[in-house]
């Protein structure tokens, strides 16, 4: 789907869809990867590569919570077994293939640097973020330092379904659920401020730790439970306000967060401001996906890069370092070659690893599907579409 989401007429409750095709998400993934790649390819002084990770975080929270909402509204509960199995089949196979490739390139001296078993095991066990904070990236395959963000997401996946179930079983309304999530974001901000201003913590501590970055994911979760652009009618705020007031304000806040260079601000309030600023960006991109520049997010080639974005994220810096270590090329040529190699390898991983794993997920879902209770429809939802399921992204 590339156009605006179809909606039920006002006052009419539509059935909750089994699957959801959310416009623009693959395009947003592609943009986020592009930001990360350019930052790592030598343009870090002008391209905020870390912001690409923040976008991935927000998107993951939004998408996972949207899917949890759909499951709960159909079945009246969440199957934790199914959730964790789907996550494992989505995330683990490409991750371990990419890590194995980086280890092999290091053993064959294509990537320089030593390997330390304890450093690699921290990656295998999704503890890389806290390992790097305490020990640096020394001993990990060169180019796999970005795996810290996967550890943050895995920690989120372990805990958030339980929190979501608690919120549902306490029968909190959408706004109340969002307030709970925003409150947690406020607590994380306060903790970052203590670390940055009072304890003088290093930047890696606030940038990489799960306890200081989980709010970047929770802002996406809050959008998914309240005023979800793919599920909920938007009667409270007019489209013109989103497009011509809130969106420009969000973009202005993002520009400010990039331009203001105070170190303590950058390791405390910056992530909160970026999370808030992404709300109108996602709202407009998803709800009005055929409006203005946002239609570019749904161009086929952009969406295809978005489909490959997980594997691209896993391998891109490995190839940047490999090309730089073995070939004497101008930076722009080196970056272009690394990107081409990354696209090729990501496409192979997608075909050989991700597609079979997706088939296993579908078979697992069919074999363990819960029957929907009679008349199980949530009055707060008005689905966008019932097309193919979107690929999730770690």
Residue 230 has pLDDT above 60, yes or no: yes
Q: Which residue has the higher pLDDT, 70 or 386?
A: 70
pLDDT (mean) for 210-221: 98
Residue 58 has pLDDT above 80, yes or no: yes
What pLDDT is attached to residue 389?
Answer: 34
**CA dist 247 → 48, 112, 242, 250 (Å):** 20, 44, 6, 5
What pLDDT is attached to residue 5?
Answer: 38
Predicted confidence band at 10 (pLDDT cuts at 50, 70, 90)?
A: very low
pLDDT (mean) for 261-289: 96
What pLDDT is attached to residue 368?
Answer: 67
Alpha-carbon distance 221 to 17, whole Å?
Answer: 19
> Residue 165 phi/psi, 5° resolution?
-65, -40
Q: Which residue has the higher pLDDT, 107 or 368?
A: 107
What pLDDT is attached to residue 2?
Answer: 35
pLDDT (mean) for 82-111: 97
Residue 258 has pLDDT above 60, yes or no: yes
What pLDDT is attached to residue 362?
Answer: 87
Full-model pTM:
0.90
Q: Among 6-10, 243-247, 253-257, which stretch is predicted with the lowest mean pLDDT?
A: 6-10
Contact by Cβ (8 Å): 35, 58: no
Contact by Cβ (8 Å): 168, 376: no
Q: Which residue has the higher pLDDT, 78 or 5?
A: 78
Name residue, tokens 């790592």.
40
Provide the percentage of residues in the chain whose pLDDT is more than 70.
Answer: 87
Predicted confidence band at 14 (pLDDT cuts at 50, 70, 90)?
A: very low
CB neighbours (10 Å) of residue 299? 13
pLDDT (mean) for 176-182: 98
Residue 112 has pLDDT above 70, yes or no: yes
Residue 96 has pLDDT above 70, yes or no: yes
pLDDT (mean) for 316-334: 97
Q: Among 16-30, 144-158, 169-183, 347-361, which stretch is predicted with the lowest mean pLDDT?
A: 16-30
Provide the percentage of residues in the chain whose pLDDT is more than 90.
Answer: 84
What pLDDT is attached to residue 257?
Answer: 97
Predicted confidence band at 16 (pLDDT cuts at 50, 70, 90)?
A: very low
What pLDDT is attached to residue 234?
Answer: 64
Task: Encode pLDDT of 280-298 as tens digits.
Answer: 999 999 999 999 999 999 9
Torsion of CA 155, 157, 160, 165, to 10 degrees: -140
Alpha-carbon distance 53 to 321, whole Å?
Answer: 19
pLDDT (mean) for 233-240: 76
Mean pLDDT estimate for the chain: 89
Tokens of 360: 């296993």
What pLDDT is attached to residue 394?
Answer: 41
| Close Cβ partners of 250 (under 8 Å, ≥ 6 residues apart) | 276, 277, 278, 279, 280, 281
pLDDT (mean) for 186-211: 96
């Amino acid at each position: 789907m590339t156009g605006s989401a179809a909606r039920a007429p006002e006052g009419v409750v539509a059935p909750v869809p089994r699957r959801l095709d959310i416009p623009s998400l693959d395009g947003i993934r592609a943009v986020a990867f592009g930001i990360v790649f350019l930052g790592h390819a030598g343009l870090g002084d002008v391209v905020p590569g870390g912001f690409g990770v923040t976008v991935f975080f927000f998107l993951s929270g939004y998408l996972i919570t949207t899917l949890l909402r759909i499951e709960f509204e159909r079945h009246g509960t969440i199957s934790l077994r199914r959730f964790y199995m789907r996550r494992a089949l989505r995330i683990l196979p490409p991750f371990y293939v990419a890590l194995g490739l980086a280890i092999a390139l290091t053993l064959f001296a294509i990537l320089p640097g030593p390997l330390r078993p304890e450093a690699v095991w921290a990656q295998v066990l999704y503890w890389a973020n806290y390992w790097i904070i305490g020990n640096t990236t020394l001993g990990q395959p060169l180019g796999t330092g970005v795996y810290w963000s996967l550890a943050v997401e895995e920690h989120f996946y372990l805990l958030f379904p339980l929190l979501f179930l608690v919120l549902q079983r306490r029968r909190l309304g959408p706004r109340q659920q969002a307030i709970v999530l925003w409150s947690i974001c406020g607590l994380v901000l306060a903790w970052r401020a203590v670390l940055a201003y009072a304890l003088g913590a290093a930047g890696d501590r606030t940038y990489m730790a799960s306890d200081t970055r989980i709010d970047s994911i929770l802002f996406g979760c809050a959008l998914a439970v309240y005023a979800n652009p793919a599920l909920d009618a938007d009667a409270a705020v007019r489209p013109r306000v989103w497009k011509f007031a809130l969106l420009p304000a969000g973009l202005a806040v993002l520009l400010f967060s990039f331009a203001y260079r105070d170190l303590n601000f950058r390791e405390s309030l910056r992530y909160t401001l970026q999370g808030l600023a992404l709300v109108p960006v996602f709202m407009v991109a998803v709800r009005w996906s055929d409006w203005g520049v946002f239609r570019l997010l749904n161009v086929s080639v952009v969406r295809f890069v978005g489909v490959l974005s997980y594997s691209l994220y896993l391998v891109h810096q490995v190839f940047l370092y490999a090309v730089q270590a073995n070939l004497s090329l101008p930076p722009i040529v080196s970056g272009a070659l690394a990107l081409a190699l990354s696209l090729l390898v990501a496409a192979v991983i997608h075909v050989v690893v991700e597609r079979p794993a997706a088939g296993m997920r579908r078979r697992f879902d069919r074999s363990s599907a819960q029957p929907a209770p009679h008349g199980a429809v949530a009055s707060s939802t008005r689905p966008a579409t019932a097309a193919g399921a979107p690929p999730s992204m770690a």
